[in-house]
Every structure is written in structure tokens, then in C-alpha cells.
Amino acid sequence: MARASTKKKVKRSTPAGPVEECWILVGQRCGRIWFCRRVRHTTGERICVGFDGLWVLQREERHGDVLGFLHTHPDGPAGPSLRDLRTMRSWRSAFGKPLLCVIDTPLGLKGYRFDGDESEGEELKLIEAFPRGVVVGVDAGGRQVSS
Ligand SMILES: [Zn+2]
């Protein structure tokens, strides 16, 4: 028996709601410390914010100082999404060096380090944003990371 209407009122995010933002992180890593600067700000609809991949490749070729990416999760989660994992693994593999995935969540800034092709992202011990787009992270220490 069919019901008259099973239409549910779907709660939608408001048009003025948060959009995802993304930056590329450039800088230097000294041991456990990551000194980054956010550059190339882009915005997009949630989950599909992109960045200029060609610029990233050229930057790495010329300066070798791409450290990773920072993006927002306006509604969470605090950890990398499946898409984030895929993105980070492929960039890490293309660059052949550890990369940082920083996520700005409602709970604050979270940082994850990607070392290997199967990496799930090792959470940083500390990640903090400073004025003028500076972001500093500290690796969770002690453990030897196998590559
Ligand atoms: Zn994400």
C-alpha cells in the first residue's frame, strides 16, 4: 500500500553556510618541526575544494619546499576523509617525501603526517596557526616511522 507522501523534509545546509577552503603549505621541516606558510588560498563547495595541482608541482620542482596542504572541514570530521587519504597518498608518492595534511575543524587545527603509500596519517603532537599565515607543527616524537 502506497502512502500519500513519504517525502521527508531534508535538512539542507544554508546557502550562506561554510564553504571549504584550501591552502598549499610551503616552508621547511627541521627534524620534528614543520615551519609552514599558507599560500594559494582557494575556496569551493564542500568536499570538492580543489587546488592548483600544476602550481604545486612547479613549486616543488623550483623550490622543493612544498610541505603539504591545509583545508577546512566546516562540519568535521577532525580526521582526514577517504578522499583526503587518497589525495595525500598520491601527492606523497609523487614527491617521495613526507607530507602534511592540516585540517581546520570546529574542534581546532589538526595535523597529520603522511609517510608511506599506505599511511593513514599520523597525528601531529602539536599544530598551531600564527599571524600572517604561519603554521607550525610538531611530530609526535620518539617513534621510528617506517617508510
Ligand atoms: Zn578533507
The model's pLDDT over 51-77, given as tens digits with 9 standing for 90+, comes to: 788 999 999 999 999 999 999 998 888
Look up the pTM and report it: 0.81
Compute, in angstroms, the gap from residue 80 CA to the centroid of ligand 1. 5
pLDDT of residue 48: 55
Compute, in angstroms, the gap from residue 7 CA to the centroid of ligand 1. 31
Q: Three-state SS for 41?
A: strand
Q: Where are the chain's structural domains? A: 20-138
The model's pLDDT over 82-129, given as tens digits with 9 standing for 90+, comes to: 989 999 999 999 999 999 999 999 989 999 999 988 999 999 999 999
Compute, in angstroms, the gap from residue 59 CA to the centroid of ligand 1. 22
Q: Which residues contact 146 (CB under 8 A, 6 or more apart)?
A: 115, 116
